Structure formats: structure tokens, C-alpha cells
Structure 1
């Protein structure tokens, strides 16, 4: 890991930080005994005091945002409680523990935007991203979220396993750090607690968890691979955290082999992005940022895979259709990436998929024979790898179903690119998102037809 030093340019030490952390600690301590309505009034009091007492300056804007976010989530929890439905208090307190830990934002001269983990506090100017520093704070966030959540359930006698609280804490901490790594006009003291809180709430509803040691192993493995991708300049910080979140969830809900299949897509995609890169750059069709992937690339190609992996754990009775749908979505992402990166280097001009007229290399919706072959081979590799990893026990069925989904999903991507993307209705990420779901549907449907399920 890279342990680059941090050069602190400015750090706030005004009353806003002291007040917010003291107020937060007080709310944590009294939360199990006060009830959500009292906590709502207290958090609103802190917000209005910071906002309208003459302390509202650019220096403590983060503290005001955090107080606003806290009030908003307590309000949601109170309203839901009135309708006999619950946003659990331990989720709310855990989300704010994640946001309150580590006031260590920094300014990245590379992007010109706030790009660090952590919320609140001052800005730190540095020459690089410290994997070691951010991993330490991620660990602190997990611990803080767990302790805050466990404090509440212990004193309230809430029927929740500590293992579930830890499971939720890990998911929330990684999600919060991911939200903070994404450049945005929204203050991180709003995006981090709300993003982490809503994600924690979603997974709390499943009441699915694994032992803490398994969760930690999954997190360590996912982070390690993400860090290697970052060091290899395949992924940026947001992609690192996105892959870590995906890895944790896919491993605990479906297994390591499922995650390795998704990793195969990222490795093949990253590798073939560099294929004849100079040539692709010379004609203006190379991937931006030297082919380094961001969170948009990760989620646009992997959301369908994540949804299916979670469904596999929650609905074991549908394991086989979900498995083959998963293989189809990974094959689509792989086939589409290889078709784009290899097909654009073909001799001769490609043709538009909708009209078969000659098109320019790299044009949305343009296809070539070489690209179609790359899509077929890339999809087949995923099917073969699934068999070798033991995910599927039928080689012919695995390759057939996966290749069908990947190939047709890739061409759905081209069709959407030639129509909705050209019309300005979809971005490239939107096209990838829909195509991977289409590939999943095709593979799942082919499996049902072939197996007579």
C-alpha cells in the first residue's frame, strides 16, 4: 500500500467541529433512552443554533450540513414510526458515526475537487492518494458504526444479532467512503450519512448476514484487489471503493467464485483497453484518462450482477436461473468491452447495426466482424471460467447459455447506442446498464428453455 505523506494546508479548529462532535456523542449516549422524537428536537436545535446564531460561515458549513442530515434522518424515522414501520434508530446513529469519524478531507490537485474519504473538518492538500491512510479511516468508520449501533440495540433490547450490526456497519462504511470519493457539488456531510444510511437500511431489511470474520475476510480481499487495480492504473479511487463494495456483497451473498467471475471482466476489460492504445488514441476513440475506470464504469456494468448475486443469497430456491442470468450479465459486460476495444482496431470501416451503412470506428452503434468475434469469445471465456471455478457443473450448458446472453446483450448495447444514445436520451453508462440487464434476461431465458425449468 502507498503511504504517501499528507501536507496539511488548513484545518478547521473552530467551535463548529467541537460542538458537532460533542453534540453527536451526547446524542449517541442518550439515544437508547430518549426516543426518536426527542432526538429529532435536539438535532434540530443544534442545526438552528449553528445556522442562525451567527456561526454560519464557510468554515463550519460542513457541521451545518451534518446537523441538517441528522435532523432529516431522525424526521424520517419519526414519521415512519407513526405508521408502524421503522427506520431503525441504530441505522441512523450508525450512519452518522460513519460521517462523524475522521474529519480529514483533502484537496486533490489532480482533479481540482474534494476527493478524499472522511467528512467535516478542513481541507488537506496532498500529492497523491494514500491507500494506507484511507484504509485506517475506513476501519475506524466500521468500528464507530458498529459501536454506535450496538450501544442502541443493547440498551433498547432490540432483537438484532450483533453480527447483523457489524455486517451493516461494514456496508455502510464502504458506501459512505465511496460517496465521499465521488466529486460532487453536494456537501459530503449530506451525501455520506444519507447514502450510507439508506444503503444500510436496504440491507438491514434482508436480515441476512454472515459471521464477522467472514465479512472481514471478504472486505480485506476486495480491498486488496481494488488497491492492486488502483496501483496498476486500471481504476481510480471511486472505482477502487466501488469494487470493494461489490466484492463484499457478492462474496457474502453468493461466494468468492462469483466475484472472481466479475473480476475476470474487469481484468479483461482493463487489459484490452491498452490493446493498440496508441492507435486508438491517434484516431480519437481511446478510453479517456488513459483507460482508468471510475465508479460510473463499475456500476454501469455491474449493477445487474450485484442485484443477481444478492438475489441468489436471499432466494436460494431460484439459485440456478439466477446463476445463469448472472453469467449472462457478466458475459455482456465482457463481450461489449472486448468488442469495443478490439473491434475498433479492425481493418476497414464498421457498419451501423441499424442500417448496415458504413460508419466510423468507435461511432455509437457501429459493429464489425472482428468486434462480433471478440464478443463471442469474451462471452465464451466467462462461461468456461464459470465451469472451471465450479460455479456451473455443466460445461456445455454454461458456455452455451453464457455466450448467448453475452453476444446478444452486446448487440443490444450496440442497438441502444445507435438509437437512444445518438438521440441524446441515454449516456454510455445508461446504455451499458440496460444492456447488462438484457444479457441477464437472455441467459436466464435460454436456461429456462433448455432445462425445461
Structure 2
């Protein structure tokens, strides 16, 4: 057993101590945490220090990794006992991070493949998250078996979502940023638990299987990096569970068609210097830049359906905001990926000829492709959602076209100075979502 695996094993055991909160109460758990914190300061050398130390701990002779890990657990524990955060969410999060890390370190002994290690973390973390939550429910409820069975769908959903987010954060952050991962996952699961997903355990597992399969296909086809794949799978799972399969079809249409558009005449785009890096494989930043607003709309829809938002807004507004943001992302992607192969590019603000790939440059071919992209999203929405009629489809097309135009205007004015590409994508999709929602409100007021 290598040193990283031994260290991960010890940290996993320490994570198991989080069960002290539901078993013995916060005071006993606080005493255990205090002992661990004292130990992190007292141990400066020796076999136990060697066992627990991360590479960066040796310079100062302090167990900073253990210290920050315990402090993150204490912060989550305080939220669990001092607010409405569920104790089961707290324990499940700590289990997930600790045992997920152990699964990944064990996988490192056998393979250097990134996807294999990410998969090992996700599976081990999800299983541990389920066990931690179920154990907490079992020891805190008077009828443990019935309570666990009734909570199982939510437990599975939270564990899977948390494992995917943790794996993504570990991929984009440093390997030793477990405290940040733990806090981020705990806060996300706290939010998701409040939304009370209505799907059963079988449906949630099926949703996870569908999104993971499509995510792996995107990775295998080199339209997404490992981090991009994780981001897409997490977004897909949240979209299915909190919105429905119709929402997922709209979202996956963008990822699928957008990925293929990236590969369209890729050699030509590479010769022109306008091709996406990494062979067109999109990373987590690109995925989030295009889909963060859509995810916010899904969360807003779920929150409004559960009457958690002030003023009880109509959930349909979030549906149109979602479709408007995806239509913008589709329009912008098709416009840039198809339009960039033509050498008749003009700057949108002055219509002066510019080099292909110039920020804010447009072609008439790209504009047509972008309009077609918005029409695709509108057509799918018209087919899948009863709330979207012909007028609603026209609103989605208009929102997509406006969002695409905003993207070009921002590219011509502030991209590269105030904002990067992901920031521009985010603001463009936000504008598409806002335009769609405002048009729905305006039509409702007129009618």
C-alpha cells in the first residue's frame, strides 16, 4: 500500500467519525473535532506525521492538510446543527469526499487514465454518500427501515450529484483541496435537499445512467474534455431530476449539435487560426459559460414549483428563460463555428472587414446558421412542452437571435479587456433568458 493510499484510508476513517453528530450529539462531535485539531498542531514529526502529511506539510512541519480538512468539517457541522441543513447531508458529504478520495487513490495504483480515476472517485464517493446519509437517517428516525426507504430517492440523487461536483472540483482544483470540495458539495446538497426532487430511486439511477453514457460518448468523440464531461453529466442529471426529460432533450441538443459544429471543417478552421483548442474538446469553463444560466433556470423552476421563492412566480417563466438561454448558446455556437470558415467577416459594430475569428466578427452565413440554431431549440420546445405554442416558439427564436447578437456586440467591445470568452457567453445566454421571460410577460399582459 502506497503512502497516498494509506493517508486516504486514514482520512476516510476520520470521515466516519462524522457519525458522532447523529449518534452522540454536537457536543461529543465537537470534542472529537477539537482533539483532531490539537493533534494537527502537536504532531510535527514521527510515523503518525508521516502517515497524515501531504507533500506541502513537510516544509513547516505542520499537518495543514488535516487542519483545514477538520475545519471544513466543523464549518459544515455547525451549519447542520445551527441551521436547517440536514445532518444527513452533512454526514453524507463528509463520507463522500473521504471515501471518494480513497477510491481514486486506489485506482491510481492500477491506471493513469484520467477517466478511470474520475470514475473511481465518483462511484466510491456516491456509494459512501448514500451510506452516510442512510446511516444518519437510520439512527435519528424512530422507524429506521421505513425512513430510509422513504428517503432513498433523495439520498441517491444527492449522493450522485455531490460525487459529480466533487470529482469536477478535484479535476479543476489541486488534488489536495479537499476542504474547498467538502464545503462546496455540502452547500450544493443543502440547496438540492430543499428542492425535494419528486422522482423515484429507479428513475434517478436511470437518469444518471443516461447522462453518464452521453457524457462518455462526448469524451470519446473528443467534443469534451474530462472536466467538460463531468460538468455536462452533472448539468444533465440536475436538469432531468429537477426539470424533466424534456428539459434534458433541449439541453443535450445544444451539446450534441454544438459539439458536431465544432468539428465542422475543423482542419480549415485550424488553418485560419480560429479552431477551438484541444481538438475542439470543450472544457468545464466553456460548458458552464454556455449552460450556467440554463442550470439557474432549472433550479428556479424547481424552487418555484416547490413554492420556495418569494412572490410565487409562474414556473413557466423559468421554462422560457431556460429555452431562451439554450437557444442563445446554440445560435452563438453555430454562428461562430460555421461562420468562421468564411472569409467575408465583418465587425458587427462598424461592418468593416476583419480577419476570421476576430471577436465581434460576423458573416451572413454565420447569422443564418445562428438563426437556424435558435429555430431548432424552438422546434424541440414546441414539440415537448405544452406551455410552448407557436407564439412561444417565436419568442424562443427571437431570444436566441438577440442573445447571439449581444454576444457579438460584447465580443467587439469588451471581450479580451474586461471579459473573457466564458464571461461573454454567460452574459449572452443571460440576455437570451431575460428577453424570453420579458416577452412572455409582455404577451401575457397584452392578452
TM-score in terms of structure 1 length = 0.85
Matched-pair contact (CA < 8 Å) for 1:172–1:199: yes
1:428 matched to 2:421? The reply is yes
Q: Which residue of 342, 354, 373 corresponds with 1:346? A: 342
The 5-angstrom pairing of residues 360-379 of structure 1 reads: 360-379=355-374
Judged with a 3 Å threshold, the aligned counterparts in structure 2 of structure 1 residues 19 and 50 are, in CA distance, closer, same or farther, namely farther
The 5-angstrom pairing of residues 264-343 of structure 1 reads: 264-316=253-305, 318-343=314-339
Q: Which residue of 2 is the match for residue 195 of structure 1?
A: 184
Q: Which has the higher mean CA deviation after the structures are superposed, 240-249 or 354-363?
A: 354-363
Matched-pair contact (CA < 8 Å) for 2:100–2:126: no
Judged with a 3 Å threshold, the aligned counterparts in structure 2 of structure 1 residues 79 and 255 are, in CA distance, closer, same or farther, namely closer
Judged with a 3 Å threshold, the aligned counterparts in structure 2 of structure 1 residues 127 and 171 are, in CA distance, closer, same or farther, namely closer
Matched-pair contact (CA < 8 Å) for 2:211–2:233: yes
Q: Which residue of 1 is the match for residue 24 of structure 2?
A: 34
**2:69, 2:430 → 1: CA distance?**
33
**2:413, 2:421 → 1: CA distance?**
12
Q: Which residue of 2 is the match for residue 205 of structure 1?
A: 194
Tell me the SS of whatever aligns to 1:421. coil
Tell me the SS of whatever aligns to 2:353. coil
Judged with a 3 Å threshold, the aligned counterparts in structure 2 of structure 1 residues 393 and 406 are, in CA distance, closer, same or farther, namely closer
**1:341, 1:243 → 2: CA distance?**
20
C-alpha deviation, 1:13, in angstroms: 6.4
C-alpha deviation, 1:449, in angstroms: 2.2
Q: Which has the higher mean CA deviation after the structures are superposed, 276-285 or 150-159?
A: 150-159
Judged with a 3 Å threshold, the aligned counterparts in structure 2 of structure 1 residues 57 and 352 are, in CA distance, closer, same or farther, namely farther
CA-to-partner distance for each residue in 1:347-386, whole Å, 9 max, x for gaps? 32x2222233332211111122222111111101111122
**1:121, 1:64 → 2: CA distance?**
23
Q: Which residue of 226, 240, 244 corresponds with 2:233? A: 244
Q: Which has the higher mean CA deviation after the structures are superposed, 206-215 or 171-180?
A: 206-215
| Consecutive unaligned residues in structure 1, runs of 5 or more | 1-9, 105-117
C-alpha deviation, 1:80, in angstroms: 7.4
1:450 matched to 2:446? The reply is no
Q: Which residue of 1 is the match for residue 130 of structure 2?
A: 146
Q: Which has the higher mean CA deviation after the structures are superposed, 433-442 or 84-93?
A: 84-93
Q: Which residue of 1 is the match for residue 12 of structure 2?
A: 21
Q: Which residue of 1 is the match for residue 250 of structure 2?
A: 261
Matched-pair contact (CA < 8 Å) for 1:100–1:120: no
Matched-pair contact (CA < 8 Å) for 1:74–1:92: no
C-alpha deviation, 1:95, in angstroms: 1.2
Tell me the SS of whatever aligns to 2:370. helix
**1:354, 1:44 → 2: CA distance?**
61
Judged with a 3 Å threshold, the aligned counterparts in structure 2 of structure 1 residues 391 and 87 are, in CA distance, closer, same or farther, namely same
Matched-pair contact (CA < 8 Å) for 1:11–1:123: no
Q: Which has the higher mean CA deviation after the structures are superposed, 336-345 or 359-368?
A: 359-368
Judged with a 3 Å threshold, the aligned counterparts in structure 2 of structure 1 residues 331 and 19 are, in CA distance, closer, same or farther, namely closer
**1:19, 1:288 → 2: CA distance?**
40
C-alpha deviation, 1:308, in angstroms: 1.1
Q: Which residue of 1 is the match for residue 211 of structure 2?
A: 222
**Structure number with higher helix proportion:** 2
1:172 matched to 2:162? The reply is yes
Judged with a 3 Å threshold, the aligned counterparts in structure 2 of structure 1 residues 205 and 390 are, in CA distance, closer, same or farther, namely closer
C-alpha deviation, 1:85, in angstroms: 2.2
1:358 matched to 2:361? The reply is no
C-alpha deviation, 1:37, in angstroms: 3.8
Q: Which residue of 2 is the match for residue 94 of structure 1?
A: 92
Judged with a 3 Å threshold, the aligned counterparts in structure 2 of structure 1 residues 445 and 17 are, in CA distance, closer, same or farther, namely closer
**1:44, 1:366 → 2: CA distance?**
59
C-alpha deviation, 1:240, in angstroms: 1.4
CA-to-partner distance for each residue in 1:37-74, whole Å, 9 max, x for gaps? 43233224224424541254597328853552333332
Matched-pair contact (CA < 8 Å) for 2:20–2:28: no
Q: Which residue of 2 is the match for residue 415 of structure 1?
A: 409
Aligned residues: 423
Q: Which has the higher mean CA deviation after the structures are superposed, 165-174 or 221-230?
A: 165-174
Matched-pair contact (CA < 8 Å) for 1:12–1:59: no
Q: Which has the higher mean CA deviation after the structures are superposed, 222-231 or 46-55?
A: 46-55
Matched-pair contact (CA < 8 Å) for 1:376–1:403: yes
Judged with a 3 Å threshold, the aligned counterparts in structure 2 of structure 1 residues 125 and 151 are, in CA distance, closer, same or farther, namely closer
